[in-house]
Each structure stands twice: as structure tokens, then as C-alpha cells.
């Protein structure tokens, strides 16, 4: 059934009008949809219809799913996975919480060898910007509709954006992406287009599907990676190694500010906002940190319970329903040749002294692979939460 097809006219549930049956089925958690799809052809068609997703949204029955992009450093195609269903941390009946997690493969980008892309979400779609293919920068934009698991090619990125990569010999990679993305009001800001000094930000309108250059201020140094960006107070905040700027889309004006947020960040650091606080994973200290705006410093997130693994690699994080979700790869303690990708959900808040603290709600492995003697750790390219 195509993404634009109408909901089925056949009877969904005997003895119930179809509109009532739709209301019932729209309330069923997504983890049971594979079972529902086997009940009848009309229900299977309904599950992939526009009407069904509209009903779930109207009933506030949408759920947060995690879309993961993983590939082994030893080569091979990338794996797109979706994780849905979350363990109940209050389940004390001795049951297997992991059974509530369902991990399913989804179709990958048609151009499967495109690396170091940047990702953004405007529900219900994931946008994949640029990257490199065999050492050459790519201007491609791919759009994934999470409802129907279909890909389409979007308008190509401006040349000034797609060329913003540079060689990186330190990490033995062909390139280092210099730009990052952030979303505000359905528009995706692509920041770090260093080939044009007076316009190093471009915005992609997901409704009109058009690119627009944003007039940008002069910088002290060009060509450095963007170490972080976030929406703060409806402004686009940009952190470079030595400079901090913010853009107000309402007035189309820029302002220099000082918060010291960019200190300690690098181009490969994920920055995630949860409950008004910015969090990151410090690869040097191997600690999760939150930014304390009172003193302008990144401070260690203190855990009140156990469950957080140590010695992570390839960390990605996201805000999932007001919780901080960490995805990363870690070696099994008793299996030296096996590496798993783990998902940890953390409830974060402040204690009476305004210090940041976290409580691990659950931690589970969602992917595992064998590694060879010369490396091959899985690279977690993206951890993208989507509400459906």
C-alpha cells in the first residue's frame, strides 16, 4: 500500500463500525503492531495508512522510537535499526524486562556507502545531509519517512555546504565533517559552510523543501569544526572552539555571547538538551557531563544508582520523552571478541544543591557483533528519537 493510499474500506473488527475500530486499534502500542498485522489484510493495510497515524496523533497515542545507524569499522554495509518498547523499571515480578524491547531492521539509505552524514528530525521524517563517498564530499539529501519506511531524494545541498569537509589524519579518517544541524519550527539549520565567509549557515525549509542562505557574521577563524549547536530560548546557539554566537530567526540578527559552553567539546561530541540542561559525553574523562550555567562549566553527572556501563565508545545521545538516552558500544567482560551496542535511559534532574544527578532507569544491549584482532568496533553514526 502506498504512503498516500486511503485506509481500507473492508471491515476491520466484526460487530464494530470501522471508525470505532480505528479508535481502538490506534491505541495499541507499536510493539504489538507486528501481531496485529497478521490478524487480517484490512488491519495490515490500516497500520500503514495516513488515517491510522492521524488517529494516533489525535489520541495522543504516539510513542518515541529510536532509529539507530550502525556500521563496523572493518567494513560492510551500514545497519539501520529501530528500537521500540521500553522496559518497565518498576517491574518487580521477576519478569524479563528485555522482552519488552523490539529491535527491527529498516531499509537503509539507497546510497549505502555514504559516511559522516548529519541527521535531523522533523516528525515524521529523518533528514540525512551530505557526507562523503569514497573520499569525495556528497551534496545529497535523503529523506526517510518513518511511518512507511520509505526513502526519497530531497533537493541537493548547496555546494557551499557539501564542500565543508577536510582531511583528518589524527583519527585516520578521510574527512572530518565541519558542519552540524539543529531544528527550529520545522526548519533545519545547517551550520558550518566555511566556503562562503558571509554566509556560513544555510536553512532547509521542510515544508517548502527549499534551501536558503542565512547572512552570517565574520569570524575570527574560518574552517574550524562546529563543536556544538542547540536551540536556547528560540535562538540558534553556535559554539566554536574560540567563539560563541547566537542567531534570532525572528529578527534575523546575530549576537556574540559568552557562556564557555564550547570549552571541552569537539566535532564528534553529541550535545543534547534535557529539561533545559545541556548534556554531553566527555571522551577524555569518559564521563557524562551537564553544563552548569551558574558557573559556566561542564560538571560531572552524579549517579544515584548503578547500571551505567564504563569504557564506552562511539557515544550518541538523545532526549526521549524528557529522559536522557545514551547509546554506545562496549566490550563484553567475558567475551573479548564480542562488542555490543547498549541503550541506557537516565532520569536526570537537580538535587537540593542544584547539582546534576542521574538515575539509571534501564540498560539493555540492542546490538552485538564480532570484532577482529585489528579493530572493527561498531561505529554508532546516529541515535535519532522519532515520535510516531
All cell numbers assigned to 130: 551530505
Q: What is the pLDDT of residue 247?
A: 96
Give the torsion sign (CA, 142, 108, 131, 344): positive
Residues 128 and 142: their CA atoms lie apart, in Å, by 5
Q: pLDDT at residue 42 above 90?
A: yes
How much is the pLDDT for 151? Answer: 94
Cβ(80)–Cβ(150) below 8 Å: no
Residue partners of 351: CB distance under 8 A and separation at least 6 = 357
> Cβ(345)–Cβ(86) under 8 Å?
yes
How far apart, in whole angstroms, are the C-alpha atoms of residue 298 and residue 283? 13
* Amino acid 93: pLDDT: 46
The answer to whether residue 328 scores a pLDDT higher than 80 is yes
pLDDT at 185 exceeding the cut of 70? yes
User: Does 245 score more than 90 pLDDT?
Assistant: yes
Higher pLDDT, 13 or 372: 13
Span of 168-172, 190-194, 310-314 with lowest mean pLDDT: 168-172
Instruction: List, for residues 63-86, the tens digit of each pLDDT value.
Output: 888 898 877 655 556 788 888 766
Work out the pLDDT band at 1, boundaries 50, 70, 90: very low
27 versus 220: the higher-pLDDT residue is 27
Q: Could you tell me if 296 and 277 are in contact, meaning their C-beta atoms sit under 8 angstroms apart?
A: no
Sketch out the chain's domains with CATH numbers: 1-62 (no CATH), 63-387 (2.120.10.80)
pLDDT at 288: 92
Instruction: Name the pLDDT band for 167 (thresholds 50, 70, 90).
Output: very low
Give first-to-last CA distance, the chain, whole Å. 19
Q: Compute CA distances 3 → 36, 55, 57, whole Å.
A: 19, 15, 17
| Average pLDDT of the chain, as a whole number | 81
**Segment 146-163, tens digit of pLDDT:** 988 899 999 998 865 655
Distances (CA, A) of 164 to 69, 133, 201, 331: 22, 14, 11, 34
Predicted pLDDT of residue 174: 40
Sheet of 64-72: strand order equals: 102-105, 79-84, 64-72, 378-387
**Kind and range of the H or E element at 235?**
strand 235-239
pLDDT (tens digit per residue) in 264-291: 787 778 889 999 999 998 888 888 999 9
Prediction pTM value: 0.85
The Cα–Cα gap between 301 and 289 comes to 5
Tell which wins on pLDDT, 355 or 133: 355
- In the chain, the percentage of residues whose pLDDT exceeds 70 is 79
Residue 135 binned pLDDT confidence (cut-offs 50, 70, 90): low
Cell 533528514, located at residue = 127
Cβ–Cβ < 8 Å for 37, 43: yes
pLDDT one-digit tens code per residue, 198-238 = 778 999 999 999 999 998 888 877 667 788 899 999 999 99
- How far, rounded to the nearest angstrom, does the alpha carbon of residue 28 sit from its chain's CA centroid? 25
Question: Is 25 exposed, middle or buried, given 0-12, 13-18 or 19+ CB atoms closer than 10 A?
Answer: buried
Q: Which range among 23-27, 129-133, 168-172 shows the weakest confidence by mean pLDDT?
A: 168-172
- Res 50 pLDDT > 60: yes
Amino acid at each position: 500500500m502506498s504512503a498516500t493510499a486511503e485506509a481500507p474500506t473492508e471491515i476491520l473488527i466484526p460487530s464494530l463500525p470501522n471508525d470505532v475500530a480505528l479508535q481502538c486499534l490506534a491505541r495499541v502500542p507499536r510493539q504489538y503492531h507486528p501481531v496485529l498485522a497478521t490478524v487480517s489484510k484490512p488491519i495490515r493495510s490500516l497500520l500503514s495508512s495516513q488515517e491510522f497515524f492521524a488517529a494516533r496523533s489525535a489520541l495522543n497515542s504516539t510513542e518515541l522510537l529510536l532509529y539507530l545507524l550502525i556500521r563496523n569499522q572493518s567494513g560492510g554495509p551500514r545497519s539501520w535499526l529501530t528500537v521500540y518498547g521500553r522496559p518497565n523499571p518498576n517491574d518487580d515480578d521477576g519478569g524479563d524486562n528485555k522482552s519488552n524491547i523490539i529491535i527491527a531492521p529498516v531499509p537503509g539509505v539507497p546510497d549505502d556507502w555514504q559516511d559522516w552524514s548529519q541527521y535531523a528530525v522533523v516528525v515524521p521524517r529523518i533528514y540525512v545531509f551530505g557526507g562523503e563517498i569514497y573520499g569525495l564530499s556528497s551534496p545529497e539529501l535523503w529523506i526517510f519517512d518513518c511511518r512507511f519506511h520509505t526513502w526519497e531524494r530531497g533537493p541537493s545541498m548547496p555546494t557551499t555546504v557539501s564542500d565543508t569537509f577536510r582531511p583528518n589524519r589524527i583519527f585516520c579518517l578521510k574527512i572530518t565533517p565541519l558542519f552540524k544541524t539543529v531544528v527550529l519550527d520545522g526548519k533545519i539549520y545547517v551550520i558550518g559552510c566555511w566556503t562562503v565567509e558571509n554566509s556560513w549557515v544555510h536553512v532547509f525549509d521542510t515544508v517548502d523543501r527549499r534551501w536558503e542562505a542565512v547572512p552570517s557574521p565574520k569570524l575570527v577563524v574560518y574552517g574550524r569544526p562546529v563543536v556544538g549547536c542547540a536551540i536556547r530560548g528560540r535562538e540558534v546557539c553556535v559554539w566554536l572552539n574560540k567563539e560563541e554566537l547566537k542567531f534570532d530567526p525572528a529578527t534575523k540578527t546575530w549576537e556574540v555571547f559568552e557562556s564557555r559552553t564550547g570549552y571541552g567539546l569537539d566535532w564528534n561530541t553529541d550535545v543534547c538538551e534535557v529539561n533545559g540542561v545541556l548534556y554531553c559525553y566527555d571522551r577524555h574523562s569518559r564521563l557524562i557531563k551537564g553544563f552548569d550555567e551558574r558557573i559556566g562549566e561542564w560538571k560531572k553527572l552524579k549517579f544515584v544508582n548503578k547500571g551505567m556501563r564504563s569504557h564506552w565508545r562511539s557515544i550518541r545521545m538523545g532526549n526521549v520523552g524528557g529522559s536522557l538516552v545514551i547509546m554506545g558500544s562496549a566490550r563484553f567482560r567475558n567475551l573479548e571478541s564480542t562488542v555490543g551496542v547498549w541503550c541506557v535511559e537516565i532520569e536526570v534532574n537537580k538535587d537540593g544543591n542544584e547539582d546534576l544527578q542521574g538515575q539509571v532507569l534501564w540498560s539493555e544491549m540492542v546490538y552485538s557483533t564480532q570484532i577482529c584482532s585489528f579493530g572493527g568496533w561498531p561505529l554508532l553514526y546516529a541515535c535519532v528519537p522519532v515520535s510516531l
